[in-house]
Amino acid sequence: MTEPPRRTAQRTAKLGSIPLGFAGRAASGWAKRVTGGDRTEIAADLAVRNADQLFAVLGELKGGAMKLGQALSVYEALIPNELAEPYQQALIKLQASAPAMPKKDVHRVLAEQLGSNWHTRFAEFDADNAHAASIGQVHRAVWHDGREVAVKLQYPGADQALLSDLRTLRRFARLIQMIVPGADVRALISEITERMAEELDYAAEADHQRTFAAAFADDPRVVVPKVVGSAPKVIISEWLEGVPLSKFARQPIADDEDRQIRDQIGEITMELHFSSPARVGLLHSDPHHGNFRLLPDGRIGMLDYGAITELPDGIPPSIGRILRLVADGRKDEMMQLLHSEGFVGRADKVTADDVMKFLGAFADPLRTEKFHYSREFMQAEGSRVTDINGDFRTAQAMNLPPQYLMFIRVVVGWMGILSQIDCTVASLPIVERWVPGFAG
């Protein structure tokens, strides 16, 4: 395995290869069509090769590049069926693997963070095999007391890599938007940039993980691994053995048992996210398949606490009241509430019908006792939300507070994951229980 490029010039050159590759393949495709090639086959080949290149580069560079790729992965369900397959495979490869740090760098980081005698803390440590993350990698080890642990190391120079990548990726936002049309790529890049300091702060991440672990210690369906030790660029926590949710996203339902497992995953993860602001005062704000595992006993394990939104008072009641009014179709009352909260100004050219249509995706699962999250549902919502003359204008005109926007983004992310998994969830009782203002 090779070390991910860290110098700005190297990383910029790698990212710069994306538009060059797209342009070259487009020219090649045009030439093939001129010489009589089949349009459909040529378009499909271009889609596969473009997706492979984009997500291979994002995964190889890690840093902000891989972080963007992970954020984009939850929007895969929005892609039309005729283009979905190449993107599904490329996105899954991005999450599954990427080049690791050389062994000497692993040892150097551990010595800097844990001391020169770091090896005495472990009964075993596997320096050769690692699971890749966006700004770090995870090694499996055995702690000195016999517990299996995950050792998360931050890449040297991760901060510079993040900044460099995000500056470059911002220039390519329009191009990447073409690959994953359901995502607001520029907004995602801005959000990753704003949260960069949090992602790099492993001390804060360890504290957040400890808080979640304490709150969910006795939960019969959720497992948060306990933190065993930490340093500014290292987190050591209990190892969780399980199946990543990406497995269910890329495979069709096999039988009734498989369907029941998927439905259970959907129910547990949805309740976990809606309940955590009330139970912990925190919201896990990095929804992608790699952060969640189905454990052998049927529980869900939650990993990676670098992206956390603090909601000390829980979910704002205004969100619940808005969702209730939208779900009930009470558009006049909904507009009155939006005006009174300052979310829509009187002078805004946004009608009640515009807002009802825009928020319908969030309310649709709340109009029935159980709701089927599917690719068809997300594709229908995606084509509507990304309509530049319709709901996109509505979203731009609304003035929602940052914590509301983050909550909405996390919900949209989870709607995408649940739709990829293809599951049916009793969403209404969960929201009634955990979202203040919804039940009245």
167-192: pLDDT as tens digits: 777 776 776 666 665 567 777 777 77
The pair of three-digit structure tokens given for residue 45, joined into one six-digit string: 């080949």
Q: Mean per-residue pLDDT for 95-110?
A: 78
Interatomic CA distance for residues 348 and 340, integer angstroms: 14
With cut-offs at 50, 70 and 90, classify the pLDDT of residue 210.
very high
247/85: higher pLDDT: 247
Please state at what angle helix 63-73 crosses helix 185-194, rounded to 10 degrees: 130
Radius of gyration of the chain (CA): 22
Q: Mean per-residue pLDDT for 14-27?
A: 47
The answer to whether the beta carbons of residues 239 and 148 sit under 8 Å apart is yes
Burial grade of 308 (CB within 10 A; 0-12, 13-18, 19 or more): buried
297-342: pLDDT as tens digits: 999 999 999 889 999 999 999 999 999 999 999 999 998 998 888 8
The label of the residue with tokens 């995870």 reads 138
pLDDT at 20: 44
369-416: pLDDT as tens digits: 899 999 888 877 765 544 434 445 566 667 777 778 788 888 888 888
pLDDT at 416: 85
pLDDT at 30: 35
pTM attached to this predicted model = 0.77
| Phi/psi of residue 138, nearest 5 degrees | -120, 130
Interatomic CA distance for residues 389 and 357, integer angstroms: 13
Q: For residue 114, is pLDDT > 60?
A: yes
* Torsion (CA) 308, 313, 319, 323 in degrees, nearest 10: 100
With cut-offs at 50, 70 and 90, classify the pLDDT of residue 262.
very high
Residue-range domains of the chain with CATH: 8-97+159-196 (no CATH), 103-154+201-238 (3.30.200.20), 241-440 (no CATH)
Tell me the β-bridge partners of 137. 132, 153
The answer to whether the beta carbons of residues 293 and 243 sit under 8 Å apart is yes
With cut-offs at 50, 70 and 90, classify the pLDDT of residue 25.
very low
